[in-house]
């Protein structure tokens, strides 16, 4: 038989067919296939009979019997039982589980990919740092979570666009311009005249020196700037933003993160998009004037109070260009948009969504989705590290990459739920021990590569291995874990939770290391040897696939 690569999906299809036969009027009902908590209850359970009991006015057990009778034949099902009030428990044949080894080896890098996205467009915006300095570890967490989320969504069948939005307008850019200008004039942060909101990091001096040296840097309009005039604030602004955008881009490349689209806040103003959006909001009837300010009646859309759009002294509040920017995303055809941002953006969610609803543009409620990450604390030698030599006031992403490498940095920043506080222990990330999860996972892959190299045979021989001899507890555990991988991808995509991949890989690595310590692979029995080698080759493939989603390498030697 051909290997089934996703048992849950396979069973979902079978029960959907049974549902059409038993109750065609309810064929749109959700078919939920789950893993029972107890192994004695089978490999999968379906509660469809319980769902249908009330609308069909029949007992769940009667419906369950009818569904089982209508269930199409499948080589992977050993038996089906009714439990309790009407749960349907499904037992998968041992042969089908064992054959997953062949399925993984044949699918290769494609194993685990699912099709829930069905090619639909999703735009994921992440990092989106102000171009006012080097990326800090918080931006790094956003980059790791956002990039891994994009990888997971792609593996789940979505058509993903990665986007970076530069807040290159407003007070922070004014502060950057003034800080660089003062440095150009020889004034340092120690001077009493240095503004309280000025930037103090050494990188400001680097920008000033480059500007005064007329170093060419490509600006937003693709023209080079660098007049070297310390009194030309506009030229300094263009140069500083372009310089720091380039620096951030270099940081992201070192972190192996790339984007498809870069958007500029300033362009929303120069192209009239902000004014156009404000006019549409006024025309919608959801705005009013009060105290010489323009307000948006966000309370019409669930906010706790109305919000100022245009301040009494002039100028728009920060959420107004956000609304204009998201309207552009909607116009670009993104049915789904996900913003990965720091938790300090929490207050903007309600007002941005309210603004989009007020536009009456057909945008659904709750659009866009948000994934917010918490702060990162960096530890070294058991003590918190708060500053960088270069940035002055914070630890940069490049500091971490230089200290522990890209792999460990990406894994540690993405391996916990974004909503949880994260402690990045530099000593742990550098350690070559089982306590270091990224080392532990990579070591499993390297161990397998070493065994296969010692064997020295043709990998194609493993495709024909008789996997029917894989019946030890260790082997059964590994088979079961690999079977779960497509479901991990699906759940991680549905819940916008790429850290689930990191959790899974730790468990798979633990299962393998236990097997490795208890077993021999290069045994004299040729049949058993090939079966075990095929199994661990499949495990290596799944580890490699999962690490790829996290943007982490799978070394063959360590």
For residue 350, the enclosing domain spans: 121-166+260-373
CA 357 – CA 487 distance, rounded (Å): 34
pLDDT tens for residues 535-545? 999 999 999 99
**Whole-angstrom distance, CA of residue 35 vs CA of residue 28:** 22
- Does 227 score more than 60 pLDDT? no
Contact 153, 162 (CB under 8 A): no
Q: What is the pLDDT of residue 306?
A: 96
Q: Which pLDDT score is estimated for 54?
A: 93
Same domain, 157 and 270: yes
pLDDT at 263 over 80: yes
Burial class (CB within 10 angstroms; exposed 0-12, middle 13-18, buried 19+) of 313: exposed
Confidence at residue 520, expressed as pLDDT on a 0 to 100 scale: 96
- Contact indicator for 130, 495 with CB cutoff of 8 Å: no
| Tens digits of residue pLDDT in 42-95 | 999 999 999 999 999 999 999 999 999 999 999 999 999 999 889 999 999 999
Question: Residue 18 maps to which CATH number?
Answer: 3.30.1360.70
**DSSP annotation string for 473-526:** HHHHHHHHHHHHHHHHHHHHHHTT-THHHHHHHHHHHHHHHHHHHH--SS-S-H
Residue 331 sits in the same domain as residue 470? no
Phi-psi region of 226 (alpha: psi -120 to 50; beta: other; left: phi over 0): left
- pLDDT over threshold 80, residue 129: yes
Domain stops at, among 187, 220, 254? 254
Cα dihedral 24, 29, 35, 41 sign: negative
Indicate the residue among 204, 226, 254 that finishes a domain. 254
Kind of pairing between the strands at 369-373 and 336-342: parallel
**Spatial distance between the Cα atoms of 249 and 237, rounded to a whole number of angstroms:** 18
H/E segment holding residue 342:
strand 336-342
pTM of the model: 0.93
pLDDT, mean over the chain: 94
Residue 281 included in any domain: yes
**Average pLDDT rounded to a whole number, residues 19-46:** 92
Share of residues in the chain with pLDDT > 90 (%): 90
Angstrom distance (rounded) from CA 322 to CA 327: 9
The CATH number of the domain where 316 resides is what?
A: 3.40.50.620
Q: Express each pLDDT in 279-297 by its tens digit.
A: 999 999 999 999 999 999 9
Residue-wise pLDDT for 316-346, tens only, equals 998 999 999 999 999 999 989 999 999 988 8
pLDDT digits (tens, 9 = 90+) for 186-224: 999 999 999 999 999 999 999 999 999 977 766 554 445
* 142, 57: one domain: no
Q: Mark whether 441 and 482 lie in a shared domain.
A: yes
Domain total for the chain? Answer: 4
DSSP conformational letter for 73? P
Q: Identify the three-state secondary structure at position 45.
A: strand
Higher per-residue confidence, 170 vs 432: 432
Q: Is the pLDDT of residue 1 over 70?
A: no
pLDDT at residue 392 in the model: 77
Helices 319-331, 346-358: axis angle to 10 degrees equals 60
pLDDT of 416 over the 70 cut: yes
Please check whether residues 180 and 314 belong to one and the same domain: no
């Amino acid at each position: 038989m051909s290997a089934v690569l996703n048992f849950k999906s396979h069973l979902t299809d079978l029960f959907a067919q049974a549902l059409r036969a038993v109750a065609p009027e309810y064929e749109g009902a959700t078919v939920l296939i789950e893993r029972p908590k107890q192994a004695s209850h089978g490999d999968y359970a379906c509660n469809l009979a319980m769902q249908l009991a009330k609308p069909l006015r029949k007992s769940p057990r009667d419906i369950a019997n009818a569904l089982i009778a209508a269930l199409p034949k499948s080589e992977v099902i050993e038996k089906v039982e009714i439990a309790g009030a009407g749960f349907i428990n499904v037992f998968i044949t041992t042969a089908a589980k064992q054959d997953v080894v062949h399925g993984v080896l044949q699918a290769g890098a494609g194993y685990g990919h699912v099709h829930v996205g069905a090619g639909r467009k999703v735009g994921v915006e992440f990092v989106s740092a102000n171009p006012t300095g080097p990326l800090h570890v918080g931006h790094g967490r956003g980059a790791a979570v956002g990039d891994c989320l994009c990888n997971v969504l792609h593996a789940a069948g979505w058509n993903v666009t990665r986007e970076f939005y530069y807040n290159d307008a407003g007070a922070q850019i004014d502060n950057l311009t003034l800080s660089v200008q003062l440095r150009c004039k020889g004034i340092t942060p120690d001077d009493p005249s240095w503004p309280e909101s000025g930037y103090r990091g050494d990188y400001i001096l680097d920008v000033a020196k480059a500007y005064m040296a007329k170093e060419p840097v490509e600006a937003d309009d693709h023209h080079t700037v660098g007049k070297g005039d310390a009194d030309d604030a506009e030229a300094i602004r263009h140069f500083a933003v372009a310089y720091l955008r380039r620096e951030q881009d270099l940081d992201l490349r070192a972190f192996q993160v790339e984007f498809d689209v870069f958007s500029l806040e300033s362009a929303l103003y120069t192209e009239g998009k902000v004014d156009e959006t404000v006019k549409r909001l006024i025309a919608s009837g959801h705005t009013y004037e009060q105290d010489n300010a323009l307000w948006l009646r966000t309370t019409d859309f669930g906010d706790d109070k109305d919000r100022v759009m245009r301040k009494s002294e002039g100028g728009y509040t920060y959420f107004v260009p956000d609304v204009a920017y998201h309207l552009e995303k909607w116009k670009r055809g993104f049915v789904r948009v996900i913003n990965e941002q720091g938790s300090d953006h929490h207050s903007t969610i309600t007002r941005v969504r309210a603004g989009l609803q007020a536009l009456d543009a057909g945008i659904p409620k709750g659009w866009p989705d948000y994934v917010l990450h918490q702060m990162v604390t960096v530890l070294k030698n058991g003590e918190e590290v708060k500053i960088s030599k270069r940035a002055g006031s914070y630890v940069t992403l490049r500091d971490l990459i230089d200290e522990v490498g890209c792999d460990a940095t990406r894994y540690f920043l993405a391996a916990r739920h974004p909503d949880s506080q994260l402690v990045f222990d530099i000593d742990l990330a550098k350690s070559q021990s089982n306590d270091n999860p990224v080392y532990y996972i990579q070591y499993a892959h390297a161990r397998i590569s070493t065994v296969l190299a010692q064997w020295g045979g043709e990998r194609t021989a493993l495709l024909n291995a008789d996997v029917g001899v894989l019946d030890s507890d260790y082997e059964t555990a590994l088979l079961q874990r690999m079977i779960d991988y497509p479901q991990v991808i699906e759940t991680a995509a549905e819940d916008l939770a790429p850290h689930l991949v990191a959790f899974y890989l730790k468990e798979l690595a633990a299962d393998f290391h236990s097997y490795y310590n208890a077993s021999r692979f290069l045994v004299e029995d040729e049949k058993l040897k090939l079966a075990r080698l095929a199994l661990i080759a499949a495990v290596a493939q799944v580890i490699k696939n999962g690490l790829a989603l996290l943007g982490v390498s799978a070394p063959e030697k360590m």
